[in-house]
Structure 1
Amino acid sequence: MAATKARQVRHNKTVQVLGRIGMGCYGLVYLLIGYLAVRIAFGGGGQEADGRGAVAEVGSTAVGGVLLWGLAAGLVAYGLWQALQAAVGYTWIGKQRQRTVKRVTSGVRCLVGISLGVYAAQSAAGAAEQGSGDQRQQEFTARLLGLPAGPFLVIVAAVVVLGVAVASVVNGIRRNFLRDLDLSSLPKGTQRWVERLGRIGYVARGVVFGVIAVLIGFAALTQDPSRSGGLDAGLRTLAEQPFGTVLLTVVAVGVAAFGAYCVGAARAQRA
């Protein structure tokens, strides 16, 4: 009975419109992360290149308060839409294993969307928690390391993140993301661009998550939580490599491409 009600809600036109608007807001966050990463590549200061940094960048504009409330509403709507997908979505996928993986992924996106939405609302109200995303990641790693078999647990976390990274790269190369889209609902001139942006974006996103996995792995091996980090740390690590400016710029453009893909593909998401 509950599942039937959830399916009815998921297919509600208003819910779908709000969810797609929310996906556009989610894409905007990635566009801003790409922009912030380019600034880092060329030695510019400013916000951290992660979700919190993107929210702070929105808040720094002249009408930041209004924009933050709109962004908060959109991200929460996206999170709730993903929650419905996690519960009863992806019915067009025949294989149970693939459907389960998709639903777990939607569950993660639900948590990310709602947490960012809440942070945006807190920022708009002037009550946001202090600390960057990297600091929160390091604090979480420190708590894990303090547990029995802590280094092993952190290694497991690194392996999970690495799995996400590999899956994202494979998704982009094989264009698996197209299975979730009905491209016929898009204007013909944009269909090819959405596909291209998705391929570039998923691969770039996978590269960054791969670097994050390596950082978490080093934290486990050295038992030093300060070696771990989130999205911002992953991007800054790329900047520290040989030809780091070029490397980070390329990846930053790819991250922004993922954001543009989310905006462009929102309308084409299968219900």
Structure 2
Amino acid sequence: MPSPPPKWVENFARVGLAAKGVVYCLVGILAFMAAFELGRNSSTQDAGKQGVFQFILEQPFGKWLLGIVAIGLVCYTIWRIIQAVQDTENKGNDAKAVAVRIRYLFSGLVYGALAYLAAKMVLGQRSGNGSGSDSRETLASELLQQPFGQWLVGILAVGTMAAGVYQIYYGISDKYKKKVQGAGLKHELEGKMVRMGKIGYIARGVVWLVIGFMFLKAAMSSNAQKAGGSSDAFRFLEDSSYGSFLLGAVAVGLVFYGIFMFMRAKYQPISTS
């Protein structure tokens, strides 16, 4: 039986959650600015993950700030992998528990890729494909070239949309409450955290649903260019009926999600055994 991870895992978790909060708050703010054209040359393209990193890089001491965010995302990655491998939350080994631990591992790998992108930008290297949406187009293109490629992209689309539905369900069902309950908070503060978390998870789920829908269109048309990332999802929302208000609402939800990450970083009980 593996020995429990040491106490420093808790510190990594809290730093990682805070870094995730920074990223989502900025994504939400930039998306809101794009929705109502509040800044010079504001666009949904700037609200993607790479756009956020570029925004940080352009601030005073930008390389230092982005470097700190990159380190925080590495911490988050390590924590998620430890959760998956060491089973620090005692999920067990049944089918449901294994699915949860695989989700932790997948989350760690995703944020590890973001940390790598941020580190490359700190070192002055630009992403070879230019943007997060391009990377998804590349993924769709690679899959479409394989045998049964349209089915593979379709499966990815359904999986992404299912993840979006689960995020919305997770928020509506209040399952996320356990992240902050038991921390000894005052009832009023805990209530604020719960409300922000609910709105945040629903907004995040909407974005995942739109990304999955774009992958589904790419699969059905066998056209990789129809796939896209979060910036394309924001543009899709903006182009719909009452698009500015819809995108603005989702953007506020993502800011709330980022704030909820800050609150989790401070108050969530982190298991290291």
Pairwise same-fold verdict (TM > 0.5): yes
Structure 1 residues 90 and 261: alpha-carbon distance in aligned structure 2, compared to 1, 3 A threshold:
same
Aligned to 1:120: 118
Q: Determine if the alignment matches structure 1 residue 78 to structure 2 residue 72.
A: no
Residue equivalent to 1:22: 16
* Aligned residue in 2 for 1:147: 146
Moved more, 41-50 or 260-269: 41-50
CA contact (8 A) 2:179 2:264 kept: no
Whether 1:249 aligns to 2:248 is: yes
Aligned counterpart, 1:264: 263
Identify the residue that residue 62 of structure 1 maps to in structure 2.
60
Matches within 5 A, 1:143-222: 143-186=142-185, 188-222=187-221
Q: Deviations over 1:13-52 (max 9, x none)?
A: 2221122111110111011110111122123425532222
Q: 1:20 to 1:185 in 2, by over 3 A?
A: farther
C-alpha displacement of 1:97: 3.5
Q: Which amino acid is the alignment partner of residue 48 of structure 1?
A: D
Query: Where does the alignment leave 5 or more consecutive residues of structure 2 unmatched?
Result: none
Task: Sort the Cα spacing of 1:74 and 1:110 in 2 relative to 1 into closer, same or farther, 3 A.
Answer: same
Asked if the contact 2:13–2:270 (Cα under 8 Å) also holds between the matched residues in 1, the reply is no
Q: Which amino acid aligns with 1:33?
A: V
Whole-Å Cα distance in 2 between the matches of residues 22 and 93 of structure 1? 21
Whole-angstrom CA distance in 1 between matches of 2:201 and 2:10: 23
TM-score (norm 1): 0.92
- List per-residue Cα deviations over 1:63-97 (Å, max 9, x = no partner): 10110111111110110011001112353447834
Query: Mapping of 1:30-69 within 5 angstroms?
Result: 30-43=24-37, 44-45=41-42, 48-69=46-67
Query: Is 250-259 or 104-113 further displaced after alignment?
Result: 104-113
Query: Residue 223 of structure 2 corresponds to which residue in structure 1?
Result: 224
Letter aligned with residue 104 of structure 1: I
Deviates more, 1:143-152 or 1:87-96: 87-96
Distance 2:182 2:188 in 1: 11
Q: Which residue identity does 2:195 align to in structure 1? A: R
RMSD over aligned CA atoms reads: 1.8
Quick one: which amino acid aligns to residue 158 of structure 1?
A
CA separation in 2, counterparts of 1:227 and 1:269? Answer: 41
Q: Percent identity, aligned pairs only?
A: 29
